[in-house]
């Protein structure tokens, strides 16, 4: 009897153990654990090393726009199939509606620049293990629209022509004062049936 009381007392003195739920997936926990070492994940460190190589290459006196496009196409070729398809289509769109933008890479990502400054870029889903790819813009892009406007779009491989139109209008507007017309604005003004309106159709990827 005395032994049972001692065992019960000892049991009650032990601190209760609890399992803390983080609400994160195993992949997110792995990334967080990796980042604790020096504040950056392996993907982030790889992107910084890629940018260092790019800056060194850009400093060469004999560099040409063709060099930038070769590097962009090489970056696209290394992507998984779905991201590669989106990047090729986006490159074709930008070449069609914003030919003044110069292809290059930026932190290892396909990007398009004006006067040496990146205007827009494509970030594959694989780049930082996101669930979607991104078509993003820098602050040099001419996208201002009142007090608030988007600076990035999530992309999926099953984009339809209407979504390609949005990419084309954004790329066009980013570098010119005369962007492609927005069908939503045309509908609002009652000109949706106008024969002058046509949807953008992307040319075959190079």
Output the pLDDT for position 195.
35
What residue spans define the domains of the chain? 64-179
CATH of 64-179, one of 1.10.287.950, 3.90.1150.200, 3.40.980.10, 2.60.40.10: 3.90.1150.200
Q: Is 152 within 8 Å of 171 (Cβ atoms)?
A: no
Higher pLDDT pick, 158 / 185: 158
pLDDT over 50 at 197, yes or no: no
pLDDT over 70 at 172, yes or no: yes
For 79, the token pair is: 């992507």
Interval 96-121: pLDDT, tens: 999 999 999 999 999 999 998 999 99
Interval 9-61: pLDDT, tens: 555 555 554 445 556 666 666 656 656 566 888 888 999 999 999 999 888 87
The backbone torsions φ and ψ at residue 199, rounded to the nearest 5 degrees and listed phi first, read -75, 145
Higher pLDDT pick, 139 / 6: 139
What is the pTM for the complete model shown?
0.67
Helix, strand, coil % in the chain, rounded to nearest 5: 45, 15, 45
Interval 140-158: pLDDT, tens: 999 988 899 999 999 998 8
Burial class from Cβ neighbours inside 10 Å (0-12, 13-18, 19+) for residue 111 reads buried
Roughly what angle, to the nearest 10 degrees, separates helices 42-58 and 65-77? 160
Higher pLDDT pick, 177 / 63: 63
């Amino acid at each position: 009897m005395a032994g049972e009381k001692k065992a019960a007392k000892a049991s009650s003195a032990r601190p209760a153990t609890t399992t803390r739920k983080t609400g994160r997936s195993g992949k997110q926990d792995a990334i967080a654990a990796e980042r604790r070492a020096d504040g950056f994940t392996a993907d982030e460190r790889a992107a910084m090393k890629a940018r260092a190589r790019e800056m060194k290459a850009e400093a060469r006196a004999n560099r040409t726009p063709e060099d930038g496009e070769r590097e962009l196409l090489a970056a696209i070729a290394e992507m998984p199939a779905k991201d590669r398809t989106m990047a090729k289509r986006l490159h074709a769109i930008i070449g069609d509606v914003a030919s003044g933008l110069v292809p290059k890479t930026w932190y290892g990502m396909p990007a398009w620049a004006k006067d040496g400054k990146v205007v827009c870029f494509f970030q594959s889903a694989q780049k930082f293990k996101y669930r979607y790819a991104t078509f993003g813009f820098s602050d040099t892009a001419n996208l201002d629209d009142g007090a608030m406007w988007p600076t990035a779009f999530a992309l999926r491989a099953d984009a339809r022509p209407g979504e390609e139109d949005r990419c084309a209008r954004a790329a066009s507007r980013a570098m010119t004062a005369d962007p492609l017309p927005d069908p939503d604005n045309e509908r609002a003004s009652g000109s949706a049936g106008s024969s002058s309106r046509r949807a953008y159709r992307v040319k075959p990827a190079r």
